[in-house]
Structures are given as structure tokens and as C-alpha cells.
Structure 1
């Protein structure tokens, strides 16, 4: 034997503390278990090369301890046993050699680093055959101080001849260095699911020849559960398609990337799985038979949560190119993007297949493999067009952002607004630069006029573009509000399907939120553009209405006034007009909203009553004499209105009714006022507002 008993394995020209610092702990908590499981599969493969009929076996034992909380356990340790080739001198040498590339599976010896990052002590016992005899070897791995002080992470305990007649290796993980919810929840069922997910490519390709894999779960040394991974656990491959991708290199001038005639073959294995078995569609790269969890390649052909005819899809992409780009940390690929390739060319070979090429090529190939997926893509494009129309997203901006089929509507809009912000920043920078240049102009220079004109032209071009961006958002928001009003009138909102009578409240709050007193934040522009610039309130009792901090109504009333205000069992001081607006001193606009199904003609005098209260019972400093009333609804029959109050007339456009100025009687010495009133449909206001907004939209396009 080449290794002495009871010795630390100390490498030449390698400082383990530095290596452990440089190769960080994997973000995948079960990575050391995956590493050991992979080694077990590979150990069996090595034997099968010389004995093709050799039946491999892997046994996993999970040990847990009880806690004081019922049905809760603490992870105590885990062991993985296999009947592969075992740690003979050659295999043990490879295990001890960092960055070893001789194994044939392109492993670089980083697995043991994850072992010691996660566990305090790892013990390996291995029986193997060498030169016709069987031996047993035991060694341990750790990054404890005793090991690192010797510049080692491996301690070789012994290697001796044994009476055993079959190879077997058991690796035991003990002393989890950090408490982990993932490990504490680990039982036979959970580990099986984790292994199935991680090794689906290997298992699906080897369904009929996978090793016998058993998993046992022990609590306090007592067997509590066991399961096996078997052929029927995995779907067969639905389709396999080859894909050739071109290599690229940096151009001779070093400023661009050019494609080469040289190609490499990739393979796409697809699995069509009933949607109840998996939550998401997925695309993964496969390196050395294992799924790469952390990859920048994304599935763009179909949204993750989408299903097509009741099925979801997994696409696994493998190639020797991917295997060759696996890094020292298993599953971390060194495949360059275009930016990395051009900026850090010394990190890569002269010829590479770029990340973007793999991404595009694979997703395009998936579309040809499954035409039904293209239908989903078409739906996504239609959704995008709807968003563009709804939010007035211009084609230039939409074309400048990378929109994935996985993007939600909010994500698409987020990307759009980010692109808009960048454009605005560039415009602002351009404007500032021009202003700075103006400061530098010399009026005595012979080129002064030409230089001035140049800077002025730049400003004249930039400022309208900047203003256009702001106006686009303004108009787009108005378009959304109009669309919402249309849905309310058509009763298409989900809340309207509940049967509750809330249509009037929906319209009221859409136009001017009830209880608010700042019309500038309202959407009263739908009725009249000027309304949002006036002072006013929405659904506030008359006695509490304020104008610039002063109460509109009197604080004290005479006995006669109080008697009237509370006559007939009413309290007229707490009446609540839907909306009051005060455009200027002495004037008041009264708006009343009625539910679309209410006959408006039954409420023709309501605004008049409010006008009478405001004319006669406001504070002395508020002498309001001119009123404008707007009674709004949808169920308006002109003959009902004309028949009920003969002073109403139909407008010449026949889309609303109006009453010319009518007296508002003043009592107790107050002069009469006057009120002009309109009765108008919501749908009429909606069409008018749409036409006004359409003019803006056409100007922006």
C-alpha cells in the first residue's frame, strides 16, 4: 500500500486554508450529500465498465434524534453506502489530489471541500480489490484546527487486508456545522424527492439500469421509515432533439464578436408531465449527468406556471461543451456571456459558444418540438400588445427591453418604466450639457452665433422629448380611468358580480374618493377639465364642509333657522351632497351621482334643495349666489325629465338635458341666487372624455 497508517495527507504546493477560503460554501444545503451520491453512482459506473452486467446498489441511512416538540426531530447524521469500485490506491490518490482531472467524469476534486464546509467530521470506510486481494481502508475529512494545523483536510487511519469478498464504501457525515431546517426535516420521503429532482436527467436516461437505491430513516436508532427509488418513479423521455450551435470569437479589431463555422452538438431531452405532478415548467443545463441548479439559461418559450392541455414540461440540455465548462465547484459553469467574453477574454478560450447563443438556440428549438407551446407564446404577445395600448408604450421603448414570456404584467411594466427612466436621465443630461455649454460661449468669438444656434437646437429638440414622456404617463393614466369607468357601467368588475348594490359608490369613488377634500387628486376631469382645479369636497356633511380652513355653514343659528333645519324629523345640517366645488367667491358647483339603474327623473329637485341650504345657511363671509348643478346617471328618459320639470330643455346635440338659470330663493333678508342645471348620462361623459383623450394619444404617436 502507498499510504501509511495514522497520517495526515499533506499536499505539495497547496495551502488548504487558502483553498477553503477561495472555494465558498455552496448555497445548496444538500450539496455534500449530492456530491457523495454522485461519487457512489460514478464508483458503480467504473466497475460496470469491466463488468457490464454488474448490478449496483446504494443504501442511504438518515439518523435523527427526538426533540421535546412532538413530531419534530434534529438531524444527527447521514451515511451513504455503495458497492462500487471503492477507494483503492488510485481512487484514494485522486480523492486527495485537488483539481484532479484523471477520473474520466471530469471531476475536479471540489466535493470534499463541500463535505468539510458543512460537516465537522466525515468518516469513510471502503473495501476494495487490488491486485487480486481485498483491503479495507478508513480515513476521515475535516477542517478542524487539528487538520488545518497540519495543512490537511484528510486523515488516513489505516489500510489493511480483509476477509471481505465484495467491494463496499460507506461515507458517514457527522456533526452538522450549522443548524439547518432542511436537514432537520430530512426523512426518507423528503430525501427521495430531493434526489429525484436533482438527478432526473440521470434517472430518466437510465430508467432500466439504475442501481438499487434504498433510503432508511432512523430515530434514536430505531427504523421509522424506508423507501426506494425505482424505475417507475420517472417518466420516459417524450422527445429528444439534437441542436448544433456555433462557436464565436473576438473579431480582429477586438471590438465585436463574430460567429465561426465550427459547431458543437447539444441535445435537448424533453419530459411531458401531468401538471399535478410538477408545479412549474423548467429548463436546466446538465453537466456530467447532473442538473445544474444555478444557471443563467432561462426558459422563455413558455411561462413557468403555464400548462398546455394539462401538461407541463421539463427540458434538459446536455453537451460535452457544458461538461467541459464545469468549474471547480460542481455545477458552476464557466460559460461566457457576450459582455464577459469581450471584457474578460483572458478568462476564456479563443473560441466559445456564448450564453446568449445557447439561450436563443434552445428556446427556438423547443418551439419546433412543441407547436402547442407557440400558441401560448402568441397569447403572451397579444397580452403585451394590450399592455402597450393600455399604457401607451411606444414601439421603440418596447423594443429596447428584454421581455420574457415568464414576465408578469407588473414585471413588463417595471422593465418599461426602467427603460423610460434611463431615457429621461439621458435627456436631462443632454439638457444640462447644453446649458453648461451656453455658459462657456464667448460673444466676441467669430463663431458665436453658430455655436449658440447649435446649443439652442439641441435644447429645442430635447425639451419636447422630455415633456412628451411625462405627458404619455399622464394620458395613459387617464385612459386607464376611462376604461375602468366603462367596466363599471357594463358591470364587468368582479365586485359587481356579488349582487351588492354598490354601483353608485364605485362611480363616486372613481370620480372623487368619498371623504376627500382635494379635487386635484380626483378624476372629475371626466365631467369637466376645470373641476380638478377648484376647491371642494366629496360626500362630507354640510356642517363640516370647509373652504380654506373656514367652516362653510354657520356655527350658530337663530331659533327660527334651527327649527327649520330640524323640521319634519330631519337634520338638514348633516345632509351630504356627493360633491361640492367652489370655483371662485360666490359660486358653487353641486354634483349628484345616481346608480346606473336608478331613474334620474325621480331626483330632479335634490340639487335644488342643496342649493337652497347653501344659499341661506352658510356663514356670512360665504355669500354664494351662483350655482351650477349636475345630476349624473345612466337611466335617463328625456320625456320623464321634461314631463316632471317643464323648464328643462334638450340640448341641440340631444345627448343631455339642461335647465336655464332658475331662482334659488333667499330667506331672512338674503338675496335670491340662481342655478343652472344639467342632467347627463355617464356614458355621454365617458364618450366625451374618450374623444378628448384620444386627441392627446394621436398627438403622442
Structure 2
């Protein structure tokens, strides 16, 4: 018999708003209806059963393990669609289940996501069993139900949500396990009840028992807390939810608060006020994530018709015993933090020790932050990696430096405007001097730590590679000074000439791998450094001869294929001769002006292999003071030639900085 709806249900569905992310709401509604139907049937939890089957298309592509989801079939052994329930189904906004929080609109969301819904139900009227079948779709303004004698021996309902709409399909999880997890969270309050029937998700034979899944995830020491807000009572269930060891670190769940109405999830919020990184720490150290389940008659009364939000403003003025959502969540989060207090204290203590150890042993440039930015240090994420700690500490360091600069200006302003008396000034001045001193010390520490790192990289570059060869000279060249650049391109921190000699870093002009005449075919010095006399200002140098000229020539470690004419010594002498003869231009196209007082320093940076030793002996080189290098003075060119082996450079640079390394504990 055809039955008309008592409302324009097509228009009702059209006006029903459902976000794509809520694509599983129709399934949740169906499962909750089944839970209530089993309760109405008076069946014990051991007898109640709900089965959720995923319906899929056949697999047509061999690269696909399973076909695309087309819908769901939900079967239960509840009371069935008897006449009372069916009349309620035909009535929009029915209040039949009002005492359970029913809004009478759940079936409308079915057709928002699915093309149609098939219902096949067995119910009891008196002593007899009947079967009711009908199709629910937008294609008809009425429901034509078929009622016949029942074939089944017991009551129950089979609802098939069919032909999922394409715009919602991408928001439905792809596997039965994922869908089971979503159902578990939505129906968590039901599942925690001892009377909850069994709920099984079947994905083409791969079955997930949601009750057992939840039981395996629950810790034993959960707890309840009763909150009283503006005369309203809220119950917060604290749950430690076990997280499987195999969980992907990127998907570690956040500590969260689930706000429920009528035993169903409505909103899930991330727990606030927790130390950064606590979520991961709890999982890694104790294997659980916190879940708080908040229920209250107040939430039941204020849930929206679609069950996706609450009709509660963010803040209330306290009139009429109303309470705002901000107050509710703040109280719940405070209670959750109290429940987790021992874990939070342990995590914060461990984090503090971790940062202090890192600063003490590896990053002394940040030591002053422990005193001047304790809150910022405490905010560094628990379990942070070295890179994450370094990033956070660097940002804090800049903030402290800016604060010190601002305080300096403020102190001077007060002094100039006579807003500070002598005693107060002395006290504030002493305090500020100490801060400035500590900040400057941290800058020096950062500078020294950088040098330690460069020396480590330099030493590693001297080792043989896996193929038995050494790195090419270009690698060491780039480390000492970037190739094909000049001092007009490269800032001071970007080069490491201090490895050779501290004085080289302050040269008037530096060029690296630049030819004398700009020709690509011209032999070029690896690094050339030009210096004007120290008493001449920068704007008085035009046309003046240079006071010193320094040239560096680098060769690959362990190289020994030199000849009498092709070797670093003669190469350096040719460069010096060209400059003395006035034939050389710098990379800017200017002649390199020298006179009889210009001194030249020529450094051959290479290992003293047998062939090179032979060449040096023939030319009369002497030993350096430590016996590790060789030196020769050429009076005609007024040039000192020094051969510096790579190991000597490392030892000398390390020794010059050793006192700083030792002071900072980074030897």
C-alpha cells in the first residue's frame, strides 16, 4: 500500500546540509538505529548482533586489491520496522525517540550521500511475524511498502545504503578497518556500556569485531570526573587508549576530547594546554593516547538537529544557568591535565634534561637561554630532535638579542630623561651589563662552534673515499673560499680563510678562481688576496700599489704527478712574476698595482709527496719552525713561498682554536 510522506521530503533532503567530511554520518545513523532496535527487542548483549558489510564493485584492474565501495549493508536482530516505527519513519521530525535524543531526521541524510536505500525488515505484531520491504529514494514522493508473512524466525532489519554519490565517495575510508575505527569513535559511549551488542564490520570476508578492537585498546585504569559548571553537571570519562606499536609515527593520535550527545560523538577537539610533543611521548614511552569522553544532559539538550554541532555559544554571561562552550572545554581540558599530571611532570622534566644536555654538550651558544628564556626553552617540544631543538633555540636566541637591544635603548632613554635615580640606575645598569655580556658570549660560542664544525668537515675531506681516491681539490677549495667569486660577492661568514691564516680574512679584495685578464683560457690563481696599506682609508686607494699580495694554490690530497715545469711551486712563481711585471689585472679589470715595497706570500696547499719533496730539495726549500712544512724566500720577486700540507693546516687551525673549544667543552 502506498503511503505519502506528511512533508515534502525531497525539499527536506535538498535543504539538509551535509559536509563532505561527514560522509559516514548515514552509516552512523543506521548503526545507532540498530543499537536502539536491539535494545527495544529486549535482547541481552550476548544476543544482540549488528553486521556492517562493505559493498564493492568487482575488481577489473589487476593492480587493485579491492573494488570501489558502492555502499553498505547493515543487518541487525532488533525489533524491526513494526507499524509504530514505520509510521514514525514516514513522519518528518518524529519525536518517537525523543527521549533518546532522536531528532526524527536521520533518514534524510541517507539520500544526501546515497542514491537510494533498500529496507527489508521482519517485525512482530501480536504473536505473528511479518516482513516489510520498501525502497527509499528521491525518485518517488511516497513509500510503497510490501507487507507479507515472514520467512525469518526472528525479528531484525537489513538496510542497504546503495549507489554512493561520487562527490562523497572520496571522503569514505577505503578499508573496513578504517571504517570500524570511525564507527568505534562515533559510538564509543555505546561500546563502553556492558549492554552493547556485538558490532562487526565485514570487508569481503575480512572481519573486524569493533567490541574486541576497543577492548584491546583500553587501559584498565580509566577514571571518571564530575564537573559542575553554572549549575550544570558534566561527566568526563578519562580513557588511556592503547596505540599499536606498528602505528605510523605520522599518524600518532593527538590527546583529544570527545563531546557527546545521547551517547554519540558530536565534536572532537584536540586537548589544549599540554606541552608540545606530549602526544608522541605518551605513545612512545607508555603506548597509549588520552581520550576524554564528555557527556551531560546539557549537551543532549543542545545538540543540533544534524548531530554535527551544539547550539551553544562560545561564551555565556551566566544568566539562566547557561554555560558557554569555551568554559565547558576549558574545564574538561583542565580535568584531563589533572588526570595526566604525573605523565606531564615526567615528560617536562625529561625534556628539560634533554635540552640542557644538548646545550651543554653540543650547542654552548645557547647556554644563556636557560637563564634568560626559561619559558621558551620549556616550550620546546618533548622528544624534539637535535634539528628541532636547534631551530627553536635559534629563534629564542634572536628574541633575547632583540630584547637586550630594546632594553639598552630604554635604559639610555630613562637616563637622558632623568626618569631613573642613581641607585636604581646602578642596579639596572649592572643587570643589563650582565645580560649583554651573556648574549655576546653566546655569539662568540656560536662562532667557535661553527669553527669546530668546519674543522670536522675539513678533516673528513682528507680521508680516502670508498673508491680509494681522495676528493678533488675543488671540494677543499669551496670549503676555504667559494669558487668563481670575489669578496664583493661573498660575505665574511661564507668563507673559511682562517684555516690558513687569521689575517687573510680581512683582505681589501679577494678573488677566487678568477683569471687575470678575464679570459676563460687563462691560467687562474685558486685564491688571490690583495691588501692596501693599513693607514690608507677605503676611499683613498685608487691607483695606489698594494701593500701585500697573497696567492693560494690548492692540489688534490696525495697528488704526486708533478713535473719540473708543472707543479704548484712554479705555478705560484709564474703568477707572482706576471704581477711584478705589471701584466696582471684583477677580476674587475684593474691592473694589480705593486711596487718595490709590495710583499708577496705564496701558499702551495698540498701534500708533500715524493715528487714534490724532490722538487723542493732541488730549489733549496727550508723547513718551517715545526718541521711540518717547507718555506723559501725569493728575493727577486720579494715573495715568500710556503708549502702547507693539509694535515699541518688542520693541526695549526685546531691548535689556534683549542682554548675556545676546551672552554666550551667541544674538543
Pick from 1, 16, 19: which aligns with 1:25? 19
Q: Distance in 1 between matches of 2:30 and 2:207?
A: 14
Match of 1:275 in 2: 246
Pick from 228, 249, 266: which aligns with 2:238? 266
Secondary structure at the aligned position of 1:502 is classed as coil
Secondary structure at the aligned position of 1:275 is classed as coil
- TM-superposed CA distance for 1:580, in Å, is 1.6
Determine if the alignment matches structure 1 residue 236 to structure 2 residue 201: no
Quickly say closer, same or farther: Cα 1:534–1:305, change in 2 above 3 A.
Answer: farther
Q: Distance in 1 between matches of 2:55 and 2:160?
A: 12
Pick from 279, 287, 290: which aligns with 1:313? 287
- Aligned partners of 1:64 and 1:77 also within 8 Å: no
Q: Distance in 1 between matches of 2:352 and 2:104?
A: 43
- Aligned partners of 1:633 and 1:682 also within 8 Å: no
Pick from 164, 187, 198: which aligns with 1:211? 198
Determine if the alignment matches structure 1 residue 485 to structure 2 residue 476: no
Determine if the alignment matches structure 1 residue 618 to structure 2 residue 584: yes
Quickly say closer, same or farther: Cα 1:214–1:112, change in 2 above 3 A.
Answer: same
Q: Distance in 1 between matches of 2:19 and 2:513?
A: 62
Determine if the alignment matches structure 1 residue 194 to structure 2 residue 179: yes
- TM-superposed CA distance for 1:170, in Å, is 0.6
Match of 1:51 in 2: 44
Q: Distance in 1 between matches of 2:383 and 2:530?
A: 50
Determine if the alignment matches structure 1 residue 577 to structure 2 residue 542: no
- TM-superposed CA distance for 1:623, in Å, is 3.3
Secondary structure at the aligned position of 1:5 is classed as strand
Quickly say closer, same or farther: Cα 1:228–1:205, change in 2 above 3 A.
Answer: same
Q: Distance in 2 between matches of 1:74 and 1:20?
A: 26
Quickly say closer, same or farther: Cα 1:229–1:515, change in 2 above 3 A.
Answer: same
Match of 2:5 in 1: 7
- Aligned partners of 1:635 and 1:681 also within 8 Å: no
Quickly say closer, same or farther: Cα 1:416–1:127, change in 2 above 3 A.
Answer: farther
For residues 378-406 of structure 1, give each alpha carbon's deviation from its aligned partner in whole angstroms, at most 9, with x where no partner exists.
77875576665466672243632522236
Determine if the alignment matches structure 1 residue 510 to structure 2 residue 485: no
- Aligned partners of 1:390 and 1:480 also within 8 Å: no
For residues 411-436 of structure 1, give each alpha carbon's deviation from its aligned partner in whole angstroms, at most 9, with x where no partner exists.
44444455556666767777888999
Determine if the alignment matches structure 1 residue 394 to structure 2 residue 369: yes
Match of 2:537 in 1: none
- TM-superposed CA distance for 1:55, in Å, is 3.9
Q: Distance in 2 between matches of 1:167 and 1:580?
A: 92
Quickly say closer, same or farther: Cα 1:320–1:577, change in 2 above 3 A.
Answer: same
- TM-superposed CA distance for 1:110, in Å, is 8.6
Match of 1:176 in 2: 165
> Where does 1:282-293 land on structure 2 (aligned, <5 Å)?
282-283=253-254, 285=256, 287=258
Secondary structure at the aligned position of 2:373 is classed as helix
Match of 2:149 in 1: 163
Q: Distance in 1 between matches of 2:472 and 2:311?
A: 60
Deviates more, 1:582-591 or 1:227-236: 227-236
Q: Distance in 2 between matches of 1:323 and 1:507?
A: 73
Question: Which stretches in structure 1 are left out of the alignment for 5+ residues?
Answer: 147-154, 217-224, 251-261, 442-447, 545-550, 554-572, 666-671
Q: Distance in 1 between matches of 2:266 and 2:442?
A: 44
- TM-superposed CA distance for 1:590, in Å, is 1.7
Pick from 618, 631, 649: which aligns with 1:681? 649
- Aligned partners of 1:626 and 1:674 also within 8 Å: yes
> Where does 1:540-619 land on structure 2 (aligned, <5 Å)?
540-544=514-518, 574-584=522-532, 585-586=545-546, 587-593=548-554, 607-616=572-581, 617-619=583-585
- Aligned partners of 1:600 and 1:635 also within 8 Å: no
**How does the TM-score come out when normalised to structure 1?**
0.62
Quickly say closer, same or farther: Cα 1:98–1:232, change in 2 above 3 A.
Answer: closer
- Aligned partners of 1:482 and 1:690 also within 8 Å: no
Pick from 69, 73, 82: which aligns with 2:76? 82
RMSD: 6.3
Quickly say closer, same or farther: Cα 1:385–1:126, change in 2 above 3 A.
Answer: farther
- Aligned partners of 1:335 and 1:353 also within 8 Å: no
Pick from 494, 505, 513: which aligns with 1:531? 505
> Where does 1:420-459 land on structure 2 (aligned, <5 Å)?
449-450=418-419
Q: Distance in 2 between matches of 1:522 and 1:100?
A: 80
